[in-house]
Amino acid sequence: MMLMEIVGRRKNLNAFADNSSQIYFPSWIYHQFELGENIELESMTENVNKIVRKMIIVAFWCIQTKPIHRPTMTKVLKMLESEEELFEIPPKSFLFSVDM
- What DSSP letter does each residue of 1-64 carry, written as one string? -HHHHHHHTS-SB-TTSSSTTSSBHHHHHHHHHHTT-----TT--HHHHHHHHHHHHHHHHHTB
**pLDDT of the residue at 9:** 55
CA separation, residue 35 to residues 7, 32, 70, 100 (Å):
18, 5, 24, 12
Q: At a CB cut-off of 8 Å and minimum separation 6, what does 41 contact?
A: 7, 9, 48, 52
Q: pLDDT of 35-79, one tens digit each?
A: 777 666 666 788 888 888 888 889 889 989 899 999 999 999 999
pTM of the model: 0.69
